[in-house]
Each structure stands twice: as C-alpha cells, then as structure tokens.
Amino acid sequence: MNPVKDPVETSSAPKHQDRPNWWNDKVESSWNSAKKEAVADWDRLVGAEKKVTNEIAEDAMAFGHGARSAYDKFQAWGNDLEKKLEEDWTGLGKGSDASWDKVRAAVQHQWQRAAGTTESRAARAQSVTAKVESAAGRVESAVAKVESTAAKVESTAARAVSGAAEHVASAATSVARNAKSHS
C-alpha cells in the first residue's frame, strides 16, 4: 500500500538561501515588481558589452535593488556603501564568474534606480522628447514672427518703392515740361 504524500512540501533550506541576510519577503516582492523593467533597462544600457551572463546580471540587479532598502541610510553611492555591498556580495560565494568587479556596475545601476537617482532609458527618452517638442514649438513661433516681420517689411518696401516711383515719375514729367518750355 502506497502512503499518500502531503501536497505541501517542507524544506530545511532557508527561504532566501542565495540572497544576503538582509533580504526578506518585502524586498523579494519589491524586486519581483521592478524586475522586468529593470532587466530590460539594463539590457538596453549595456547592449553587447555584457560582462556576465543574464542570470548573474539579474542576481546583481536584485542585490542592488534590495540593498537600497537594506542600506537606506546611504543617500548616494560612495566608497563606504560600496565596501559593505562588496563584502555582502562576496559572502554569497557566487564564484569568479560573478566577481564584484564584474557585477559592480549592475548593482550600482539598480541601487540608484531603486533610489530614484537614475532615470530609466524610457524616462530619459520621454524627457528628451518633451524638450524637443518644446523647442520645436519655440522654433515654430519664431518662424511665424519672422514671417510676419518679413510681410511687414515687404509691405513697407512696396509702399516705399511705389512712393519713390510716383516721385520719380512726377520729377520726370516736370523735367520733360521744363525741357519743352526751353526749346
């Protein structure tokens, strides 16, 4: 007779065994919400210049994301923070393929991204687009002013030419009369 297995399996392994000791369910949930956009942003940023595999890069970004809340007393990336994060990362024993030198940029990028101190490419693109559209509006306005001014100059010049032509014609008629009367 086969005993029925309990559908809920239990494990003696820690819940977040491949994560630093400050990693918790709240950080996990936050990372899961941010992961898709963060990974896409990172892929666009580094392109073909990847130093590590996608899996290692994702681990590094998750680490940077979680480190933002674990080390929230740090307002900006700096040497003290980097030393702590390097120690935490190295303590995870990820191996030489995931050495700190290889993942540092991904960790820093995601730490800053989680802090809101770096814009994603999409946000930068939106910002640049808005600036370009604003500049285009100013250019259109300037062109309209130039066209209006050109029309005024043209009208004034036409009146001046017409007036000058009338004056020249009158003077020519006067000269012609004087010439006839002296002949």
The pLDDT value recorded for residue 85 is 95
The pLDDT value recorded for residue 145 is 83
In angstroms, the Cα distances linking 92 to 35, 48, 51, 98, 176 are 20, 27, 19, 10, 108
| Buried/exposed 64-76: b ≥16 CB within 10 Å, e otherwise | bbbbbebeeebee
pLDDT tens for 105-152 read 999 999 998 888 655 445 555 555 666 676 777 777 777 788 888 788
Own/partner pairs for 9-18, CB < 8 Å, 24+ apart? 18/59, 18/92
Mean pLDDT (the chain) is 79
- Residue that is written with structure tokens 């994560």 in the block: 19
Helix (H), strand (E) at residue 144: helix 121-181
The pLDDT value recorded for residue 86 is 94
Query: pLDDT grade, residue 9 (50/70/90)?
Result: very low
Query: pLDDT grade, residue 14 (50/70/90)?
Result: low
pLDDT tens for 67-113 read 998 998 998 999 999 999 999 999 998 888 889 999 999 999 999 98
CB half-sphere exposure, 127, CA atoms < 13 A: 7
The pLDDT value recorded for residue 82 is 95
Report residue 79: phi and psi, to 5°: -60, -45
The neighbour count for residue 112, using CB atoms within 10 Å, is 16
